Amino acid sequence: SSEVLEAIENVVQGVFQSLAQKKAPVLTVANRTDWRNIEFKDSVGLQMIPGCTRKQIRSDCPQSARRFALMLKILSMIYKMVQSNTYATKRDIYYSDTLLFGSQSVVDQIINDISCMLKIPRRSLHVLSTTKGFVAGNLCYTEEDGTKVNCTCSATAVTVPSNVQGIKNLTSHAKFILIVEKDATFQRLLDDDFFSKVSPCIMITGRGVPDLNTRLLVRKLWDSFQIPIFSLMDADPHGVEIMCVYKYGSVSMSFEAHHLTVPSVKWLGLLPSDLKRLNICKDALIPFTKQDENKLASILKRPYIASQPLWKRELEIMAASKLKAEIQVLTSLSSDFLSRVYLPNKLQFGGWL
């Protein structure tokens, strides 16, 4: 915490020095969303390059003066929280003055900018993100406040903890971890008692694009148990992108890649080649939209796809057919095909990429 306080004090000191010299104060932040500032490294995923381009948030410029003020406001809130050892969610910060901030996304972006500018992970700033992910299966752990959590005996899933860094005493006999894209598929596998039938495993879902806590938990499970991690996604560009966020990280959070990415994630399904192999009826597939085409074209150009020829081949199958499929398409074969046939066979015979 002293490191965080010192980092904030240095920023404020810079503002004072500018004022003392009759200059307009400026905050400098990295261009987090520019692909030119990102490099791909096999062992880490997408990470920010050391000499990345930066942008200035000036206090004397009409376009950025408001953002400058909001950054100082949130810095002061973080400073108070770290001093008093209290925490707040990004939502709490927004609702502390909705008129001032204007929207939740403004708060979210500023907090990420501050985290990147100070080179301090967001959770060390005492800002928690609201959790939407679920975890179930062969896993027990103790939360920071001493609460013991047992995911094994629960017929319903457990919410991913809001302070993943604080959990300890993780124990599991799981043979693998299964990341499931969608809540509906996750619940279906839960109902079918999948995590205890095939072999003990841990299932986790970010319910779509994963939030920070879900990504942190996947990383923590990998660090703790070093067991295979498989992903089960829709056979569409959106599903592939979500899987890439778990495996390689996102551009906007590349400055935190070392804590968030899990390069060992394998693509278990639904593979575009599976659709032909399983004789899925064409009528059950969904035609591409223009947005799907653009998304797939952009994924194919990303630096990490070149290092994954088997993934590239699957994406080219998808691009050629211009058809996509949800995991639910497997119910056209039988209602429990996913948990009874598809996943057990894939896991047993190595049907992942």
Burial 246-266 (b: 16+ CB within 10 A, else e): bbbbbbbbbbbbebbbbbebe
**How do beta strands 201-205 and 176-180 pair?**
parallel
Total Cβ atoms within 10 A of residue 336 = 15
Catalytic one among 87, 95, 141, 248?
95
**How do beta strands 176-180 and 229-232 pair?**
parallel
Q: Which amino acid is it at 31? A: N
DSSP string covering 24-43, please? --EEEEE-TT-GGGEEEETT
Joined tokens for residue 252: 């906007």
Of 98, 162, 93, which Cα lies nearest the Cα of 129?
A: 162
Residue that the structure tokens 């089960």 belong to: 232
Phi then psi for residue 319, to 5 deg, are -65, -40
Burial 4-23 (b: 16+ CB within 10 A, else e): beebbeebeeebeeeeeeee
How far lies 331's CA from each of 216, 334, 335, in Å? 32, 5, 5
342 is catalytic: no
Cα 298 from Cα 10, distance rounded (Å): 40
Cα 273 from Cα 188, distance rounded (Å): 23
Joined tokens for residue 342: 């598809």
Hey, what long-range contacts does 20-26 have (CB within 8 A, 24 or more apart)?
24/58, 24/59, 24/60, 25/59, 25/68, 26/56, 26/57, 26/58, 26/59
Active site residues per annotation: 95
